[in-house]
Chain A
């Protein structure tokens, strides 16, 4: 294997791993504890590392005084629809890029790469004007369309990696048995790729869920805001209300964390398969 481990080596290793774990988990622990303190206790000395009394007041305030339920619903709708549509569209483009050889292929891959390199802010002004012309400003459908376009390039590359891991022989056999190319794709390849597709969808969903700048630009009215836009409103005010802020942060992080935990193995595979393949 990789050589023998000495006792000293093991101590060093597990100390390092332990310290890193603590460092990684602590900020999340802290924001959660903060959110569960009664609003007044947050600013109480000495700082309590474990709340003396738990309170859900910060959370109830979010849904009472602030309209956090609406923001969560908006984010959920936009991220689900955009994430799923982008996955479906990317599946087609990824399939072609994995299975066909053609002249413009490297140009297309380059075009996908370029979208990742250009700061999105350069496009914000014109995008706003375009959406105004299409009457899609401050409209969830408008944001969905834009998010689909944002997700496609990376999702395509990720899915292409999954397609390439599946031997050609599988669909060749299906086509010899009389299935069309579409038929082979949907009936034979997709079932095999299901974990990869789920991972790609989750990746898209989380990206849309977390997106801030496009949403801030395109959604003005309170009833259309997504969660990050609302959070941005919270920190723009002079005095940040850390009670509501921490509760809002926990509610924002929780769904994406659960999704990532669920699919982490496949996401990792999707990310690494391209880079380290022999």
Chain B
């Protein structure tokens, strides 16, 4: 999520505040010339954040990264020798790897597409004021306050095979005759975790898209109406092109985020039944819990590599944005 703001760096006209500087006032502003005093100020303000993140985030991350190339097992700490790419080979050689990879793809795309479509629809329909709109927004906002892990637990109860309300409702509606053991069958379990994740993630899309929609100048719609453009045409030729960058960025950020989001599956199925609903990151948790830090690290590095590819897409989209607005 944090990435978004890198696009927002405002370029200021040089020369604003020039006069105050000549009078020797301590105005750093956005000027580029370097002074010791300014450098010290920047360093002093950045230091606490930098120290915390360096010690408790970057150091363990880098230390964890090098474990990927070592024999690092909690079960036997006497031998932590370098083993080259063995951990990566072990990852690929694991018979479950194919399932894990396939599930990750289903997890990301099966979540993103409905989240985007429903979120877009919500945003379009929330754009115009109506009575209780504020309350409505607050109500559909709340899944956000809940952790992914707890959402997993919530839906685990809803999809319970014996006493679950989903089965009860479906039976009442006459859609099923017998209760379905949702979380005991890999296929239905995957559907269930996707439904939970869609429930969770639509809000984010709705919020981002709604904010983007509100940045579209009314004149564009007035002009379109004057030209007699149909609703569909307005949507596809004005609305979507105008917010295309936001759409692209939001999707990419969510891909990164959902890929890296084991909590919900961890709480809902724990990767079961029979390890059939594991995605890469829940698989990593399982291997960590087995004490094979080396192999878990190798998995982590693979995730980072995959996500870096997405980051490149993201940066390309950013550049396009800057060009398009000139």
Contact = CB atoms under 8 A, between A and B. Distances in A.
A275 B246 contact: yes
Interface residues of B, number: 117
A102 interface: yes
Given A113-B311, A124-B64, A23 B300 contact: no
Contacts of A42: 163
A212 B261 CA distance: 12
Contacts of B83: none
B8 A277 contact: yes
Given A24-B139, A117-B256, A30 B61 contact: no
B250 interface: yes
A17 B136 contact: yes
A220 interface: no
Given A168-B17, A176-B25, A249-B154, A109 B6 contact: yes
Most buried by B among A46, A108, A117, A211: A117
Contacts of A213: 263, 285
B145 interface: yes
A73 interface: no
Contacts of B211: 268, 272, 275-276
B288 A117 contact: no
Interface string A130-171: 100000000000000110111011101100110010001000
Interface in B33-63: 34, 38-39, 41-42, 45-46, 48-50, 52-53, 55-61, 63
Given A93-B46, A253-B146, A112 B157 contact: no
B288 A27 contact: no
B263 A274 contact: no
Contacts of A43: 162-163
Contacts of B163: 42-43, 47, 242
B97 interface: no
A125 B8 contact: no
B157 A47 contact: no
Contact of B17 (A111, A129, A172, A264): A172
Contact of A112 (B2, B128, B140): B2
A193 interface: no
Interface string B133-153: 000111111111111111001
A272 B26 contact: no
Contact of B149 (A123, A153, A212): A212
B5 A152 contact: no
Nearest to B142: A257
A1 B221 contact: yes
Contacts of B231: 3
Contacts of A192: none
Given A3-B221, A42-B163, A102 B150 contact: no
Nearest to B281: A119
Interface size class of A (residues with CB under 8 A): 35 or more
Contacts of B270: 235
A18 to B, nearest CB: 10
Contacts of A126: 59-61, 63-64, 67
Contact of A47 (B142, B168, B311): B168
Interface of B: 1-8, 10, 16-17, 20, 25-32, 34, 38-39, 41-42, 45-46, 48-50, 52-53, 55-61, 63-65, 67, 72, 74, 118, 121-122, 125-128, 136-150, 153-158, 160, 162-163, 165, 168, 199, 202, 207-208, 211-212, 215, 218, 221, 225, 231, 234, 243, 246, 249-250, 256-257, 260, 262-263, 266-267, 270, 281, 284-285, 288, 293, 296-297, 300-301, 303-304, 307-308, 311, 325
Given A130-B60, A242-B157, 16 more contacts: A2-B221, A3-B234, A17-B125, A28-B154, A90-B49, A113-B6, A117-B304, A127-B60, A148-B52, A157-B2, A176-B25, A210-B148, A257-B142, A274-B7, A275-B246, A278-B215
Q: Which 10 A-B pairs have the closest CB atoms?
A: A274-B5, A210-B147, A122-B300, A149-B56, A126-B63, A123-B60, A272-B211, A275-B4, A93-B49, A260-B145
23 contacts: A3-B231, A17-B125, A24-B199, A27-B155, A47-B168, A93-B49, A93-B50, A102-B34, A119-B262, A121-B281, A157-B2, A157-B4, A172-B27, A172-B29, A176-B25, A211-B147, A228-B149, A235-B153, A268-B141, A275-B7, A275-B246, A276-B212, A276-B243
